[in-house]
Every structure is written in C-alpha cells, then in structure tokens.
Structure 1
Amino acid sequence: AGTGNLGIEALSRGARKVVFVEKNREALNLIEKNLSVCGLKDRSEVLFKDVTQAIGRLKGRGERFDLIFMDPPYEKGLIDKTIGKIFTEKIYSDDSLVVIEHNRREPLPDITRSWNLIRQRRIGDTVVSFLTPLKKEENS
C-alpha cells in the first residue's frame, strides 16, 4: 500500500471503503497517519499482513472488491502469486477492475485463463496493466 495515496484518493472520490494491505511497519504507520489527517479512518481498514494472508482473511469475511490495486515490490515474483490468490479466493466481483503497477522488466504472468488484459500504459520503466475477470462464457 506504500503511502496509501491511491486509496485515500479513492475515498475522497466517493469509495465506500478501502482496505490497505501493508507488511512494512513504517509504511503502515504512514498510511494510518495519512488517513487520520484526512479524516478517513472510519471508511478504511489497514491490515498489517503479507498479501496472501490478507487475501485469505478477506475471503473468510466474504469480502469482494470492485477495484483492486496492486503495487508489489518490483521483480520479486509477487504478481503471479498475488493475482493467482485473488483469482482462487475470488475476492473480486464480476465487473471488477484489477490494476497492477510493475516494472517493464517483469512482464505479467500468463493470465489468459482468468483475466482480460484491457489496457497497458508505460511510464518510463513502470507499466500499469488493467485487467478484468473473464466472464464465465469466456472462461469455457
């Protein structure tokens, strides 16, 4: 979640709730501070967890999200692991948008069985990929 700026922006634009997942204590403290300063703590949740643990917890609570933003540390192989967990635990809705920020040297894993890549934007060494879940009839 880093500084939480994208989630805070979503809240300021009307998102009902944002769940931030961060496993770095300093970054987590900064997110909580930013939420307090902006008066948004009541519409947010900050999980101090590894992303796969957080996904399991969210699934256990029956949570589903319309927008999922992933910005994992670059070139650590976390995209494949995370997008796979999001898919298997189905914490997204049928019309969700998944946005992944990654380094251009770390291409997306093979997602064609589960996701549509609808757009990519390159900004220097960074690529932002936009995915939607395949519809059931597309997945057959």
Structure 2
Amino acid sequence: MRIISGKYAKRNLYTLKSNSTRPTSDKVKESVFNSLGQFFSGGNVLDLYAGSGALGIEAVSRGYDHAYLVDINSQACNIIKKNVALTKEKDRFNVIRNSDFKALKIFETQTIKFDLVFLDPPYAKEKIVKVMNTLLKYDLLNDHALVVAETDQHTELPEVDGFILNKDHHLGRTKVKVYERQ
C-alpha cells in the first residue's frame, strides 16, 4: 500500500499484519479520490476507523490541512504513527486511540468540524447510519462536508436524513457511497 498522489506521493505505507483491520486497496483509494476531485484546498479530514491511516494521509497529501486518524486498536495506532512519520509533517495529523463514539464526543467538546469523513467500520450498515446521525447531532460537519462510506458488496445503506447521496461506486467486492451534508 502506498500514497498515490500529492505531496507525499509514492511513499510506501506500513500495514498491520493481522485480520483486525481491512486496508482499503490502492485501486479503491484511487477511485475514491478520483471521484472526489484530485486535489483540495484546505479543510479537516476525519478517518474514524483509520487502520493504517492511509485515507487521511492521502487526503492531506492532496491538499487538506489536517487529518484526525482514530482507531480503537493500539497496534493500528502505532502503525498510523509510523505512517504519519513518513510525511515528516506530524503537526498536520492527530492520531487518537479511542472508540468511534467517544472520539466524536471529544470532537464535539473541542468544537472541531470536518470537511471530509471516511467511514469503513466493522458491521458497516449499523455503524455508518449511527455515526452519520451523530455527526449531525454533534454539529461536527461544515457546510457541504462529504462522508465517504465503504462497505462490502452485500451491504445496502439506506438514505440518511440530512445527507444527499452524491456518488455510488461498486468496485469489485467493495461499495463506496459519497454523501454530502445538506
């Protein structure tokens, strides 16, 4: 796995050598960023189930200002920190070891808002809708913020109040839906 484009392009990333994380493939990552736009001009990114941190690091590489990389697994957080170190810009990243909803509550108390959110949780259907509703409830999204939800090919996500479905990709065994905050 590597950083595909931008400031940190072609740097190889570390991954966790276990089944506790499912890294987003370079093919899926490239397709997601091609559909979002190649490069960006600032903003905050949240990867709530960061694994290796690849999606958040890619987003900062392509122009976002800062990424918050959250994972509950301590080994995953160690890998994320190693990957962040490869950027030589650690100040542009926060690595947070916490559960999803506890992290969201922390962001609410710190009044941090996001422009792009990546969601690739285990048990996707149940979690994604709850997380999206919590993002709205805690007012964690800037106007027109995007939420990228990644699931397996068999998971169908419902419409979520407060969001418009912008894009729906089927990439092999992976589905990616891009929602925009209304």
Unaligned regions of 5+ residues in structure 2, if any? 1-49
Contact preservation (8 Å) 2:125, 2:156: no
Tell me the equivalent position of 1:131. Answer: 179
Mapping 1:36-75, distance limit 5 Å: 36-75=85-124
Is 1:15 aligned to 2:67, yes or no?
Answer: no
Tell me the equivalent position of 1:138. Answer: none
Tell me the equivalent position of 1:122. Answer: 170
Give the number of equivalent residue pairs.
133
Tell me the equivalent position of 1:82. Answer: 131
Tell me the equivalent position of 2:5. Answer: none
- The structural deviation recorded for 1:37 is 2.0
Structure-2-length-normalised TM-score:
0.69
Q: As a proportion of its length, which structure holds more strand?
A: 1
Q: How far apart are the structure 2 equivalents of 1:20 and 1:42?
A: 13
* C-alpha RMSD over aligned residues: 1.4
Q: How far apart are the structure 1 equivalents of 2:158 and 2:132?
A: 9
Q: How far apart are the structure 1 equivalents of 2:169 and 2:121?
A: 17
Letter in 2 for 1:82: V
- Partner of 1:35, secondary structure, is helix
Contact preservation (8 Å) 1:79, 1:109: no
Letter in 2 for 1:116: I
Contact preservation (8 Å) 1:52, 1:82: yes
